[in-house]
């Protein structure tokens, strides 16, 4: 029963992730052009493969056709992955292989954002939770990974995501304007106060990313990560919604909310898994028992 709750949590996280990325690829855009139009990086490859000059390549319309076609193919793939979330079980091992493939593609997408954002390491590592979500489901369902291995793997993913978000919020990397705008719209703060608020929560994020490995306090910290991860995902919609343009706002921001839902759901997975390390021999441990730590004897990990 406990494993069922864990699998369900990861299924929901994967469904949201794949749904959001599918929506993004089919309707919006990905930063592939920053890679394909990098003359220093691509000119030699282009001239070798196509016999075209860089000028011919950069002005060719066929390139954009290929980009759009590739985005659609990836969008359909992510849609298929979202559909497969309903059919994950130990007998369908081919589903697990598809999920591992999806994590590889998500890693490539993270590398594109990494390049677009001037090779800031924090930009790359903040996608760790999203990249590892399908892998966690694969490990839980299709391998004999121990609870302790899964716990440390998932904690590490959460820690990297929160620490890297925190580094942007405190200004170690340039403080993102969209972070500031969301705080202003959500909390009705002036810009200077919004920037101070971001620095405070940024420091908290960094501390949380470290403290979830400390046995005595990890559970309180993971609760914070769970709540804050869900709130920051939902804020993509609530902070950017305008009554005058409802569909346009929802169409743009719902996918961003969806693929960030693992930032709250993977901490939930960590909480459930941590609270199930040692069960008292009793019948029927419910979901609420797990998250509230009832009927459960805990080994600090």
Backbone angles phi, psi at 274, to 5 degrees: -65, -40
> Between residues 124 and 63, which one has the greater pLDDT?
124
Q: Say if CB 89 and CB 8 are below 8 A apart.
A: no
Q: Say if CB 167 and CB 33 are below 8 A apart.
A: no
Per-residue pLDDT tens for 158-199? Answer: 999 999 999 999 999 999 999 999 999 999 999 999 999 999
Total structural domains within the chain: 1
> Between residues 297 and 53, which one has the greater pLDDT?
53
Q: In the predicted model, what is the mean pLDDT of residues 10-35?
A: 96
Rounded-to-integer distance, Cα 3 and Cα 298, Å: 17
Q: What percent of the chain has pLDDT over 90?
A: 76
Per-residue pLDDT tens for 270-294? Answer: 999 998 865 544 455 666 666 766 5
Q: Say if CB 150 and CB 273 are below 8 A apart.
A: yes
Rounded-to-integer distance, Cα 299 and Cα 278, Å: 7
Backbone angles phi, psi at 52, to 5 degrees: -95, 150
The pTM of this model reads 0.92
Is 50 exceeded by the pLDDT of residue 299?
Answer: no
What pLDDT is stored for residue 54 in this prediction?
Answer: 86
Q: Read off the tokens for 139.
A: 């490990």
What pLDDT is stored for residue 255 in this prediction?
Answer: 98
Domain assignment of residue 290, given as a range:
2-297
Q: Say if CB 88 and CB 11 are below 8 A apart.
A: yes
């Amino acid at each position: 029963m406990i494993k069922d709750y864990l699998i369900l949590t990861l299924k929901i996280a994967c469904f949201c992730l794949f749904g959001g990325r599918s929506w993004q690829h089919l309707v919006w855009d990905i930063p592939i052009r920053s890679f394909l139009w990098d003359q220093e990086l691509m000119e030699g490859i282009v001239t070798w493969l196509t016999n075209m000059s860089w000028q011919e390549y950069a002005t060719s319309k066929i390139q954009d056709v290929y980009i759009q076609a590739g985005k659609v193919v990836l969008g359909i793939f992510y849609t298929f992955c979202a559909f497969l979330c309903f059919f994950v079980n130990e007998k369908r091992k081919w589903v697990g292989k598809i999920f591992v493939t999806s994590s590889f593609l998500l890693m490539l997408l993270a590398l594109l954002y990494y390049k677009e954002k001037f090779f800031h390491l924090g930009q790359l590592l903040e996608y760790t939770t999203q990249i590892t979500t399908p892998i966690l489901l694969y490990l839980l369902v299709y391998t004999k990974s121990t609870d302790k291995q899964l716990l440390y793997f998932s904690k590490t993913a959460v820690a990297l995501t929160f620490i890297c978000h925190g580094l942007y919020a405190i200004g170690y990397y340039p403080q993102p304007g969209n972070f500031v705008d969301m705080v202003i719209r959500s909390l009705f703060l002036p810009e200077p106060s919004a920037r101070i608020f971001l620095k405070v929560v940024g420091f908290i994020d960094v501390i949380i990313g470290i403290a979830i490995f400390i046995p005595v306090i990890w559970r309180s910290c993971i609760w914070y990560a769970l709540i804050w991860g869900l709130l920051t995902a939902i804020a993509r919609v609530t902070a950017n919604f305008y009554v005058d343009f409802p569909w346009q706002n929802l169409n743009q921001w719902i996918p961003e909310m969806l693929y960030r839902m693992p930032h709250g759901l993977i901490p939930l997975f960590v909480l459930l898994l941590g609270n199930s390390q040692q069960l008292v021999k009793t019948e029927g441990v419910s979901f609420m028992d797990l998250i509230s730590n009832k009927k459960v004897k805990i080994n600090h990990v």
